[in-house]
Structure 1
């Protein structure tokens, strides 16, 4: 395995040590001595607005409160993705916070491709009552290119576009900027190159932008206040990522197989075939504190159980769906916390106790349902058993099932289109 990697373009305090990452999450606890954990470089992505009310949430059903807050900014009467109100394709979305002083921010570290800064707003041809032009549109924009490596050193490239940024005149009125702006932007001030009007569209010229850096303030288009925001890939970059040999993403597949790729991000998903037995306590674990007694049961042979698993604030949460006759039925109206408290906080000790031959492999089994790092010692079938609590019927009954079985398919967050309304009738 390569040494621990520091995510590209991330700024660290001088003298600070690189952080280690597993499946897009930093490992801050003790490290195992039996071998390296599978490590992924990380690009953190955040929304283009970061309102104060999105900073935290005590609701376990809201594992991303910031995105929940920004979702409220989406306008429903125009600029909807992917088809606008006039039935035309619309590749972005229109966002309008309640306060125009809420700055527009870069969603990730990147490089400026092109930009335009205007001194004042323009008219779309409309006039005021006195016959003068109605300056009702803003033409400022920033286009960023983002590039990062994922597991197995694969490169993914995508772009983010921020349109209808406010003109300098109105910007100074609502959010005055310092007279000696920094050359490089920050999370609290615009850079000098975004405070000088340009003569049309300008090439980025190698300028760097970092996540959360202010890019401007949202303006108007045809009198409608909003930011037009979109994320996209070129056709070449899309195919290079999603169709690469050995890493093909099974888009549109109703019955996707467990991928061979080690790339892993987002939540984990498990597809459990009908006929599987659910136990109240795993064999040999009657006195184990890791497995509080639950309810035994079984899945009917024709049905499938889909389970989503993720960690949030030290706890492990799951949601379940059951497929009957090609139709999905949600079994968990809200995420269900694992019966073992502080599951993630105690994951290191759990892996050490349950997988003494190779705790590193156990750690990956507990997180992903499979071992990603092929350089770790191989565990036998019996040594690999990974029992997790799942909800398996409409009454909310929970029991344990061994997800390490080959019959149970393991997927990352984007690998199960069936859970996004694509199940065939």
Structure 2
């Protein structure tokens, strides 16, 4: 029998319940609503289909939108726990962190704590590498100490795998459950959860504090069902904290107009300016694959990320780069060794890593330089280029870095990305948050 704590806050199909329990602590509802039909798990109303159902023997409508999480059809029942919630350990909110916050971080930390106490909404707009994670510590500690349940959600599994050990280190008495596809923690209960936004489909009014990291990242910004999942997983009376380095233009306008409650951190915690990308023409990179300027750049680097817009082009480029150093590797979203390669890069076993935009955010490699090949490609949006540039200069021991946008023609996205980085540096200097 699965520990009853596991079920707290979850809404699952019978196939997802590890050991089917006594139903007197559950309420049930159909997976799909009656006409007009919509999926109760993901909120989808349009991406539906039907088929002869082996389970019930009838022709069933099913949801195609969240089918990767398991099928929700007309005959599916969702089970929701209504039993008592588990009590937290007296040490649940103990914070084991001896660091100090910068002036910008301290302001954001105070505002996050206030939003959590008031069960309100707040946005933290902080440049990449500003130390957004540390801004959360005080608020999370207060929430856990008061018996509240906290979720930090992010669109990508890489970010979850990066964040979970950091929270486990500072909250060792409350090790977080890290939830993503294939996670070993999927049957674990914790009052502190670090989860992909997709995994929130399996929760219902579970969290007193919902924190959405990288709120501007794909696929969250383009997928209404993920935004639905966030709202479904938080309690009606709860705090909602958004973290972003590159808010969408509408949010930026709301923040600047004062209509969205927000804290802006325009400088990194180490008080050094953001490295500004250089634009370098490299000719028709699609034809040459590895243009001479890029090859020269890589030969001069000890540790670097080289971004390509497409997997096929990157795959063709890898053998050419391996002529420089056999330890150079490539990685992309479908790479089965993706996690291992990222760790090898972090250890220094891989000196140069070719990558798609999968590593544009959520990972930190101290002392890394960054190149973008074909930066005019439409996959490299303004926010993507800002995030990519944000991989360099993040460490206090390596606060600078070389960032080069290799292109076959400048785009508005490239120009705007450089402009925003320069504006943040100017604002950081104006606010006294930079030493130089």
Tell me the TM-score normalised to structure 1 length.
Answer: 0.25
Larger Rg: 1
| Higher percent of residues as helix | 2
Provide the TM-score with structure 2 as the length reference.
0.25
Which structure features the higher share of strand residues?
A: 1
